[in-house]
Amino acid sequence: MGLKLTFLGGVGTVTGSKYLVEADGRCFFVDCGLFQGFKQLRLRNWVPLPVDPKSIDAVILTHAHLDHSGYLPLLVKEGFRGPIICTPATRDLCAILLPDSGHLQEKDAEFANRHGFSKHHPALPLYTLKDAEASLARFAPIAFDQDKQLSAQLRVRFLPAGHILGAAIIEMTCGDTKVVFSGDLGRPNSATMVDPTPVQHADYLLIESTYGNRKHEARDPEDMLAEIVNRTAGRGGTVLIPSFAVGRAQSLMYHLYRLKQARRIPGIPIFLDSPMAIDASDLFCKYEQKLSAAECRATCAVARYVNDVEGSKALDRDPTPKIIISASGMATGGRVLHHLKLLAPDARNTILFAGFQAGGTRGDAMTRGAESVKIHGSYVPIRAEVANLHMLSAHADADEILAWLRNLRTPPKKTFITHGEPDAADGLRHRIEEELGWHCVVPEYRDTVELT
Ligand SMILES: [Zn+2]
């Protein structure tokens, strides 16, 4: 039984993951993500899909990050009526992330209209908070390691991928053919997440390549974090950590909790300034599999939670050294932008990123040494120290991906390298061909392949 696969995103970029699978007379999406970063990528969010959303039978979701789930509200708005199949933690995280995304889309459009810096009049949101809330009714979670029959011939199963809470590797079986979607692959030996499940067989494999040409620093993140916090506090500055609200914020709190316990950092206050990260911290205690319940509680208690906007603004007015964790992680939106405007021009402060920064984002520009970034229509000078805790990444690096691939007992017929910027995808292709001798393809946007 054959399958037809069309790459509608997550190729040539780490964002917009969206694969159309046609099999057994039906039509499915694996992931349904937003394009983020460069403007020419973001514009793809507005391009109509090659299929009518009404004709899609189901969406199967690897995990909750917006670059994998953030298009769902639009899909539902445009008529999709099938189930969104994912793990329970992914559903709970999407219930936090998608409404926030709708809210941000509305705010951005509103802000652009108010300040007249959009080329479109009026600027419209891609979808609204209401659209996002409506999409939540379509979620139909299933547990890890359970088969879900999608049609007579087709079934799927989720395997733990590490990465973030609920993240899954998808095994899709159609007749005798097994297609494996790695989703975003976590790291082995992570402090807070389980190792990605070894997969022993795949006829076809889609493997992510975010870090396909890189190796994470072997340095202990706690050493680097301690050094930066001590250095910054020593010069009377504040450490601002732009962080992904889900997952990263909680691992940062875990490391800060451990550093405070060991008295390796001064007793300066830590603030978690992101309502979404606060909600995600509750889910961390519910779904976290590696830490004890007591460790989870202590992790979440290390920071003071800032829920309201007034409290958030008050943080910047108070000049005493502190640590602020605020979303979004690549400084593309959210409350962190207001902190950046006030804290980035002061050389005493540190802007500490915590993981991959996609091309075209402010985080990418700043970690590459930009002297200023544009925020809300005006340029903000960057005089603060800028650093990146790369090793806190939730993605396997090239060596770790190769090690995971070596679990397969026989080579797949074809391996598709996805979810990477061009250099990273090509770097991984090269290594897989050289070291494993597998047949690899780096697909392009809107490519279609027949899997037989
Ligand atoms: Zn992800």
How far, in Å, from the CA of 65 to the mean position of ligand 1?
5
Residue 64 Cα to ligand 1 middle (Å): 7
Q: How far is the CA of 126 from the centre of ligand 1 (A)?
A: 21
The angle at the Cα of 145, spanning 139 to 149, to the nearest 5 degrees, equals: 60
The amino acid occupying position 221 is P
Gap between the Cα atoms of 418 and 444, Å rounded:
9
- In order, the DSSP letters of 110-171 are HHHHHHT--SSSS---SS-HHHHHHHHTTEEE--TT--EE-SSSEEEEEEE--SSTT-EEEE
Sheet containing 139-141: give its strands across. 139-141, 84-86, 58-60, 26-30, 19-23, 3-7, 448-451
Residue of 140, 63, 128 lying closest to 101 (CA atoms): 128
Q: What spacing in Å lies between the alpha carbon of 397 and ligand 1's midpoint?
A: 14
Evaluated on CA atoms 183, 188, 193, 194, the torsion sign reads positive
At 155, list the tokens: 């079934």
Tokens 């949101």 belong to residue: 125
From residue 439, alpha-carbon distances to 108, 114, 203, 406, 431 in Å are 44, 52, 12, 14, 11
User: CA 297 to CA 441: how far, in whole Å?
Assistant: 45
Distance from Cα 381 to the centre of ligand 1, integer Å:
30
Question: What confidence category does residue 118 fall into, taking pLDDT thresholds of 50, 70 and 90?
Answer: low
For residue 383, how far is its CA from the centre of ligand 1 (angstroms)? 31
Report how far ligand 1's centroid is from the alpha carbon of 314 (Å).
32
Q: Which residues contact 162 (CB under 8 A, 6 or more apart)?
A: 185, 186, 187, 188, 190, 193, 194, 195, 196, 394
Per DSSP, what are the bridge partners of residue 160? 168
∠ CA(229), CA(330), CA(239), 5° rounding? 15
Asked whether the predicted pLDDT for residue 19 surpasses 90, the reply is yes
Q: Which residue has the higher pLDDT, 71 or 360?
A: 71
User: 417: left (phi > 0), else alpha (psi -120 to 50), else beta?
Assistant: beta
Residue 107 has pLDDT above 90, yes or no: no
Alpha-helical regions (H) of 182-292: 221-234, 248-261, 275-287
- The pLDDT score that the predictor gives to residue 283 is 93
pLDDT over 70 (residue 127)? yes
Structure tokens at 286: 């519910």
CB 164 within 8 Å of CB 250:
no
Which pLDDT belongs to residue 41? 86
What confidence score (pLDDT) does residue 114 get? Answer: 81
pLDDT of 150 higher than 90: yes
Q: Could you tell me the pLDDT band of residue 240, with boundaries at 50, 70 and 90?
A: very high
Distance 186 CA to ligand 1 centre (A): 9
Give me the mean pLDDT over the 89-93 stretch: 97
Question: For the chain, what is the mean pLDDT?
Answer: 94
SS3 229: helix
Element (H, E) at 387: strand 385-388
Ligand 1 mean position, distance from CA 395 (Å): 8
Mean of pLDDT values over 402-414: 97
Q: With 80 as the cut, is the pLDDT of residue 33 above it?
A: yes
Fill in the DSSP letter of residue 177: E
Average pLDDT over residues 325-331: 94
Rounded to the nearest angstrom, the distance between the alpha carbon of 129 and the centre of ligand 1 is: 22
* Predicted pLDDT at 120: 67
Residue 116 has pLDDT above 80, yes or no: no
Is there a contact between 32 and 59 (Cβ–Cβ < 8 Å)?
yes
**Can you give the pLDDT at residue 131?**
97
pLDDT value of position 1 = 66
Q: Which region among 37-51, 123-137, 201-215, 426-440 has the lowest average model confidence (pLDDT)?
A: 37-51
Cα of 365 vs centre of ligand 1, distance in Å, is: 21
By C-alpha distance, which of 33, 42, 28 is closest to 64?
33
The pLDDT assigned to 396 comes to 95
Pairing of strands 323-326, 304-305: unpaired
pLDDT tens track for 247-297: 899 999 999 999 999 999 999 999 999 998 999 999 998 998 889 999 999
Give the closest residue to 100 by CA, choosing from 282, 276, 284, 280.
276
Residues 125-134, mean pLDDT to the nearest whole number: 96
CA of 66 to the centre of ligand 1 (A): 8
* C-alpha 184 – ligand 1 centre gap (Å): 5
Closest to 349 in 3D by CA, of 389, 395, 381: 381
Instruction: Calculate how far, in angstroms, residue 52's C-alpha sits from the geometric centre of ligand 1.
Output: 26
Mean pLDDT (whole number) for 80-103: 96
Q: What is the pLDDT of residue 289?
A: 83
Q: Where are the alpha helices (DSSP H) in 289-442?
A: 293-301, 309-317, 336-343, 362-367, 398-405, 422-436
Distance 247 CA to ligand 1 centre (A): 10
Measured distance CA(292)–CA(66) in Å, rounded: 28
How does residue 390 score in pLDDT terms, banded at 50, 70 and 90?
A: confident
Confidence class for position 119, pLDDT limits 50, 70, 90 = low
> How confident is residue 117, by pLDDT bands cut at 50, 70 and 90?
low
pLDDT tens, residue by residue, 363-386: 999 999 999 999 988 999 999 999
- Name the one residue in this structure whose structure tokens are 């509305």: 106
Q: Which of 235-239, 286-290, 445-449 has the lowest mean pLDDT?
A: 286-290
Tell me the two tokens of residue 182.
């790695």
Longest dimension (CA), the chain: 66
DSSP code at position 397 = B
Res 43: pLDDT: 86
CA–centroid distance, 36 to ligand 1, in Å, is: 13
Per-chain residues with Cβ under 5 A from ion ligand 1: 65, 184
CB burial string 378-393: b at 16+ within 10 A, e below: eebebebbbbbbbbbb
In the reported structure, the alpha carbon of residue 196 is separated from the centroid of ligand 1 by a whole-number distance in angstroms of: 13
pLDDT single digits (tens) 56-69: 999 999 999 999 99
Cα separation of 9 and 246, whole Å? 22
The average pLDDT across 175-198 equals 95
Q: How far is the CA of 316 from the centre of ligand 1 (A)?
A: 30
